[in-house]
């Protein structure tokens, strides 16, 4: 197809980089038509399971969070987006922004596919410019019938993005693997670095490290890590960052086989802790792979740094699992944002402090007895204090039906259990660092459990019609404090 282009050139200067592009008129028209479609389609969405304070698509399908970044005093979060159906389709980039990581504003769709699907990637703030680096997936005529390369897009206002005419800027993996995606870019001193998920020639997952002075010409540096044969066939959505004096390789390996309580989801997300040198480009692994969240629905986590803190968000769903909300015209959402730190040999996650600003009234602050039942609205935060030398057994379910989840603790085995029924169980050992409190976040179709200081976290989708019913099925009384939470995202 011959593209009709508008008559002016856009010249953008980024910290030592000059991009010149012309903007296709039909691309601009497609963006306008898409936003008109979204506004019209929102009227048809059934809101029964739509979250009140988790980022979700206005319509259609959402998967991986992308481009999580801090730019000109605002947080930006993009996501894989297919607006025309509530199932995966040709990938766009949806876009929201927030001043505080809890109150989110819907923005126009940032990227639309053309010859390429706009797969996952990242964003980097460069003075007044915001640049996206993403994977362009293009169909091919021969097996494996696709090719993945890395593209750039950029914006002067943080809202309207234009693709670089020189795309792709990184055309192939060093070994020619077609599995070459999900770039995470950052700047160190005067150079840009990016990690990209890929695969060895014998189908083992790996993460590649590159360097550039201008984000257009990239030099391959090293393999930061790769599967030894039992760590999966593809490492997606890599992230690499310094945290509390250590370096962390965060990624989502595909193809891990279940091992007792571990790796029971379709795909996993976790991290390796180690040491790294920008002189040798070598990442020395010190603590082997650990899952970062132990729930049913957590994938493709990504991070950003702002104000001296490292924040994480993930896709709050899972591949090859039912998405009951899809019949309502939307599917998929993001977790609440968590703050990361390292304690010993593991990462702990806590909800961002700003989430306290969503608290409305206190619903209860007292002891509840065995068998006692409480009822809440759709969005609630609950603190549970118990005697952890005894069993703890809580039932959470919809006030008008649909799914249920049991939260359990058995001191004899030392495990926290999240049970959605029908043997759909996730569990892990818990050794409290200090606090023994459970902090639970409930939304219209989700449950997030933070144990103690955040050393054990579970994120699981639970579909509660008409708000939540809480039953103390333990044989002990519990101290409970609960807050009604205000809306933090658009309807």
On whether the CB atoms of residues 289 and 272 are closer than 8 A, the answer is yes
Tokens 């998967």 locate to 63
Residue 63 main-chain phi, psi, to 5 deg: -130, -125
Sorted by sequence, the CB contacts under 8 Å of residue 96 that are 6+ apart come out as 55, 76, 77, 78, 79, 104, 105, 106, 107, 489
CA-to-CA distance for 292 and 295, rounded, in angstroms? Answer: 10
On whether the CB atoms of residues 335 and 30 are closer than 8 A, the answer is no
CA-to-CA distance for 277 and 324, rounded, in angstroms? Answer: 46
Token code pair at residue 238: 């890599």
Residue 150 main-chain phi, psi, to 5 deg: -110, 130
CB atoms within 10 A of CB 370: 13
Token code pair at residue 14: 């980024």
Token code pair at residue 335: 């977790």
CA-to-CA distance for 309 and 243, rounded, in angstroms? Answer: 9
CA-based R_g, the chain, Å: 23
Annotated catalytic residue 156: no
Question: Nearest to residue 240, comparing CAs of 206, 200, 209?
Answer: 209
DSSP state string for 315-351 = ESS-TTS--GGGGGTEE--BPPPEEEEEETTEEEEEE
Strand partners, 481: 365, 383
CA-to-CA distance for 260 and 403, rounded, in angstroms? Answer: 25
- Burial bucket for residue 16 (CB in 10 Å: 0-12, 13-18, 19+): exposed
Catalytic option among 64, 182, 239, 297: 64
Strand partners, 69: 76
User: Catalytic residue positions?
Assistant: 64
């Amino acid at each position: 197809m011959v593209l009709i282009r508008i008559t002016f050139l856009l010249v953008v200067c980024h910290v030592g980089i000059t991009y010149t592009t012309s903007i296709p008129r039909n691309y601009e028209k497609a963006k306008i038509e898409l936003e008109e479609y979204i506004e019209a389609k929102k009227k048809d969405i059934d809101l029964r399971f739509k979250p009140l304070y988790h980022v979700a698509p206005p319509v259609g399908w959402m998967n991986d969070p992308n481009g999580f970044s801090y730019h000109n005093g605002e947080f930006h979060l993009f996501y894989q987006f297919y607006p025309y159906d509530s199932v995966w389709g040709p990938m766009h980039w949806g876009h929201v922004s927030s001043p505080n990581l809890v109150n989110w504003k819907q923005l126009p769709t940032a990227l639309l596919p053309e010859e390429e699907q706009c797969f996952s990637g990242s964003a980097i703030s460069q003075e007044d410019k915001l640049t996206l680096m993403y994977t362009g997936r293009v169909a091919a005529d021969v097996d494996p019938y696709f090719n993945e390369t890395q593209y750039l897009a950029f914006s002067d206002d943080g809202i309207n993005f234009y693709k670089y005419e020189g795309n792709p800027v990184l055309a192939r993996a060093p070994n020619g693997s077609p599995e070459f995606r999900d770039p995470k870019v950052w700047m160190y001193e005067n150079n840009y670095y990016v990690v990209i998920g890929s695969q060895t020639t014998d189908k083992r997952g790996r993460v590649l490290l590159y360097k550039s002075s201008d984000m257009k010409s990239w030099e391959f540096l090293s393999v930061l890590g790769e599967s030894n044969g039992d760590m999966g066939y593809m490492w997606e959505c890599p992230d690499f960052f310094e945290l509390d004096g250590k370096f962390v390789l965060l990624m989502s390996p595909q193809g891990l086989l279940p091992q007792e309580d571990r790796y029971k989801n379709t795909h996993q997300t976790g991290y390796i802790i180690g040491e790294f040198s920008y002189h040798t480009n070598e990442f020395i692994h010190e603590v082997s792979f650990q899952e970062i969240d132990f729930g049913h629905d957590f994938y493709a986590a990504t991070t950003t740094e702002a104000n001296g803190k490292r924040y994480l968000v993930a896709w709050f769903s899972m591949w090859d699992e039912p998405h009951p909300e899809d019949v309502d015209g939307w599917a998929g959402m993001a977790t609440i944002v968590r703050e990361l730190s390292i304690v010993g040999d593991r990462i702990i996650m806590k909800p961002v402090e700003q989430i306290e600003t969503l608290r409305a009234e206190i619903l209860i602050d007292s002891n509840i007895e065995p068998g006692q039942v409480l009822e809440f609205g759709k969005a609630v935060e609950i603190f549970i204090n118990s005697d952890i030398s005894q069993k703890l057994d809580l039932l959470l379910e919809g006030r008008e039906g649909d799914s249920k989840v049991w939260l359990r603790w058995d001191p004899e085995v030392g495990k926290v259990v999240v049970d959605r029924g029908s043997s759909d169980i996730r569990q892990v050992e818990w050794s409290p660092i200090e606090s023994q409190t459970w902090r639970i976040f409930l939304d219209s179709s989700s449950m997030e459990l933070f144990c103690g200081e955040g050393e054990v976290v579970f994120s699981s989708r639970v579909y509660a019609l008409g708000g939540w019913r809480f039953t103390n099925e333990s044989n002990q009384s519990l101290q409970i404090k609960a807050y009604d939470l205000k809306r933090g995202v658009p309807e």
